[in-house]
Structure 1
């Protein structure tokens, strides 16, 4: 039996069905990366965007087909829905095309560490209690993404390959957004620290991270809207953050301490 390059892969916030989705880069990532288990950690299909405008180009179909093909070929795929695809949560424990839907899951690494896998909107007070504000924030984020898409196209035409993200720049310049991200992380850790798990693997805020908070591992997958990041588990149980650029790996390493030095982290899409 051929050994998969990774034991486990986690990806989230693909936003298929919206103009935000970087389908070409996501397809390239799926093509070049295999694993024994694949977690889809929420906001996979963006029903919020689809409810406003029908957008489903051919390459979005190809993404679904490629994921289903992985399942048919033996990859264990677990779909943990998020707030943009929350209606899928009604199908907890259902199996669709060899893909299992779960509201949350416990993953045990090769080192025996137990991680709760959850999208993360459950720990976001704005998403839970102020949905109108969450949707307003989503609209503002959409505008930033559209501007950023134009800037990215211009940079490609000029032959500039570095990843500048307008949304990331804005995010780390707005103190209230930085505080929101910090509060979000702290809320998750405080809530789960005594729940018998060693850490949490989540998405939701479009900011990839691997860090230890008071002995509790906080791991965020990031997104495939701007930063194009994933979390992978090697066969020795070590977790790493992967940032992917079409046709090549930009880097595979623990997250840098300076998020602005790494382009592509998105503004919280709540």
Structure 2
């Protein structure tokens, strides 16, 4: 990135990165992270995809995302890792605090006199509650669809056509999927209103959104950070301007960031992964 100044951001909320899967856009996320200096970073679930994690697939760029976040801790950024369904095994560590790093299942933030309730959102997913095997099968199907979509978009790019999102077309065409998303948002909003929160912030459904939801009991601002599989989006908060949805596709500065060639598609073997982790923990940065 050279001498370009990084943006100061009060709060960044990232979710559904799915490191360790073919659909993850780790390089694009790295470029974005290199353009900002966040005071607080919330990783709102499904950061590492432990459902589909494979020793055979772990590119260097995926490892670099983790290392970059660890580096933010050394620069006084507070990092909160909220667990999701794809990284649910970390829920046994909820409550763990190591300096500026915290693992939890939910968090309530005070922002300019208002309260924001932040959690991943899979608790509202009926499939997760009663048919986890079906949810995992769906995750595999989704990852496969993303792979097919990547090839389709490559072909479209070669002939000068615009990219398409197959999963979005599937969701838009299936009434039950649209109904689930609407119900998800309404349920989150209703519980937030009952508990007196001003904002409710989720991930899980991969649909970036900021909108006011009103019920008979009151109103709340519902927010969703989207994902880094298709939308390449997150949430940013500034005390002066409020919330906004960040979209990588609209960020020319991040797109211009040059990454080292060693991050472009190279894969780490198991020995390299272990060496990198050891070096990261043993190296003291001043």
TM-score range, shorter chain: 0.7 to 0.9
Matches within 5 A, 1:119-268: 119-158=120-159, 163-214=163-214, 215-236=219-240, 238-245=242-249, 248=252
Contact 1:20 1:145 in 2 (8 A): yes
Matches within 5 A, 1:103-114: 103-109=105-111, 111-114=112-115
Contact 1:15 1:225 in 2 (8 A): yes
TM-score (norm 2): 0.80
Please give the alpha-carbon distance, in whole angstroms, between the structure 2 residues aligned to 1:16 and 1:151.
22
Q: CA deviation at 1:156?
A: 4.1
Aligned to 1:87: 89
CA offsets 1:148-203 (integer angstroms, 9 cap, x no match): 1112333444565x552111121111111101111111121222321121121110
Q: CA deviation at 1:95?
A: 3.1
Q: CA deviation at 1:245?
A: 3.0
CA offsets 1:186-236 (integer angstroms, 9 cap, x no match): 121222321121121110000110011101111000000111001100131
Query: Is 1:23 aligned to residue 26 of structure 2?
Result: yes
DSSP-derived class of the 2:194 partner? coil
Contact 2:156 2:163 in 1 (8 A): no
Aligned residues: 246
Aligned to 1:116: 117
CA offsets 1:124-145 (integer angstroms, 9 cap, x no match): 1111222122122212212211
The equivalent position to 1:5 in structure 2, one of 5, 8, 12, is 8
Please give the alpha-carbon distance, in whole angstroms, between the structure 1 residues aligned to 2:160 and 2:174.
30
Please give the alpha-carbon distance, in whole angstroms, between the structure 2 residues aligned to 1:6 and 1:100.
19
Aligned to 1:33: 36
Aligned to 2:46: 43
Q: Residue 195 and residue 70 in structure 1: after superposition, are their counterparts in 2 closer, same or farther (change >3 A)?
A: same
DSSP-derived class of the 1:232 partner? strand
Range with bigger deviation, 73-82 or 162-171: 162-171
DSSP-derived class of the 1:40 partner? strand
Q: Over aligned residue pairs, what C-alpha RMSD do you find?
A: 2.2
Q: Residue 158 and residue 72 in structure 1: after superposition, are their counterparts in 2 closer, same or farther (change >3 A)?
A: farther
CA offsets 1:89-110 (integer angstroms, 9 cap, x no match): 111121357421111101122x
DSSP-derived class of the 1:36 partner? strand
Please give the alpha-carbon distance, in whole angstroms, between the structure 2 residues aligned to 1:39 and 1:113.
18
Q: Structure 1 unaligned runs (5+)?
A: 251-270
Aligned to 1:253: none
Q: CA deviation at 1:43?
A: 0.2
Q: Structure 2 unaligned runs (5+)?
A: 255-286
TM-score (norm 1): 0.84
Please give the alpha-carbon distance, in whole angstroms, between the structure 1 residues aligned to 2:187 and 2:198.
15
Range with bigger deviation, 234-243 or 80-89: 234-243
Please give the alpha-carbon distance, in whole angstroms, between the structure 2 residues aligned to 1:118 and 1:190.
15
